[in-house]
Amino acid sequence: MLKFRIYFDKDAEEVWLKEMSLKGWAFKKFLIGFYIFEECEPGEYNYQIDLLDNWKGDKKDFASFMEESGVEVISQWYRWIYIRKRASEGPLEMYTDSESKIAQYNRIKKFFRLGLLLEIVCFMIEINAAIRTGSSLIWLLTVFIGIIALTFLQMVWKCNWKIEQLKQ
Amino acid sequence: MDKSIPLTEALFYILLAVRKPNHGYGIIQEVLEMTAGRLNLGPGTLYGAINSMLEKGWIRLYSEDKESRKKKEYLITDQGEGIFYNEVKRLGELVENAKKMELRKVGV
């Protein structure tokens, strides 16, 4: 089964994958918004989503470490990694202390902050072009980029809020 | 190296579990046993902790056999043992002082 969804919040995405698993659909692969599911026993798998430290390097190292620790790396999209574990083999929690949870939200925050910066630059270029040409297509694109920038900004705030919660 | 920063529980138990060569899954299992099932280290937490301790030189890679896909094993270094020793001393002092307080309370 194929589903199209756009998630920015990995916590919400995890909840959705868990719900799908409970309905008997095991998530298999992700590609630009498309999620591929396979049939499974209801509730067979638990899922976690993680963001790798850097763009290069540690992907293989991370994956082999996870496999050795008894969890499965099932899909990867750039730095985003999808991990699963059979529910029968115990609970799946990637991060078990507040220090490492805070480190994870800091990674995610940095990711969206960089995205936000790039979107702001794009927005400036687009709005300039829109004013100059008056083209409604370019105006539409400008609004679209603006919406993405605001979503990224919201994610940066969300990460900050989660980090504050964890620090208490 | 600042030796006065208290270790997190995860770092403390990982250091304890790599006094002999140990791999990721082995560390998780050993910490579970030592704490009677209380501390179940998440693989992400363990991965981050191992990488930061490798970087600081508190632990080192003991073996990595790429041919036979043998699991990576880690071992504590002299520096790591120093950090660990200082932390045990600090914790011992905490417990000692707490015991003194308790005795006084009982004596009242």
Q: How large a percentage of chain B has pLDDT more than 70?
A: 83
What is the count of structural domains for chain B?
Answer: 1
pLDDT value of residue A58: 67
Residues of B within an 8 Å Cβ radius of A: 8-10, 23-25, 28, 39-50, 71-72
* Contact residues, chain A, for B8 at CB < 8 Å: 97, 99
User: Across the interface, which of B25, B48, B49 has its CB nearest the CB of A68?
Assistant: B25
CA atoms of A13 and A17, how far apart (whole Å):
6
Q: Higher confidence at residue A58 or residue B107?
A: A58
With a CB-CB cutoff of 8 Å, which residues 105-164 of chain A face chain B? none
- Centroid of chain to Cα A30: 11
Compute the count of residue pairs across chains A and B with CB atoms less than 8 Å apart: 57
Residue B1 domain flag: no
Find out whether A6 and A33 touch, Cβ atoms under 8 Å: yes
Q: What is the mean pLDDT of residues B3-30?
A: 90
Q: How large a percentage of chain B has pLDDT more than 90?
A: 69
pLDDT value of residue A75: 87
ipTM: 0.83
Phi then psi for B76, rounded to 5 degrees? -65, 145
Q: How far is B40 from chain A (nearest CA, A)?
A: 7
Residue B40 domain flag: yes
B65 confidence band (pLDDT: 50, 70, 90): low
Range with the lowest mean pLDDT among B29-38, B48-57, B62-71?
B62-71
Residue B26 domain flag: yes
Q: What is the CATH number of the domain that holds B57?
A: 1.10.10.10
Closest chain A CA to residue B50: A65
Say yes or no for a CB contact (<8 Å) between B23 and A68: yes
Domain boundaries, chain A: 2-89, 98-167
Residue B58 domain flag: yes
CA atoms of B24 and B30, how far apart (whole Å):
10
The whole domain housing B13 covers 9-107
Segment-wise mean pLDDT, segments of 10 residues, chain A, 168 residues: 92 94 93 92 93 72 86 88 90 92 95 95 93 90 94 96 94
Cα dihedral value B90, B18, A87, A81, nearest 10: 100
Residue B81 domain flag: yes
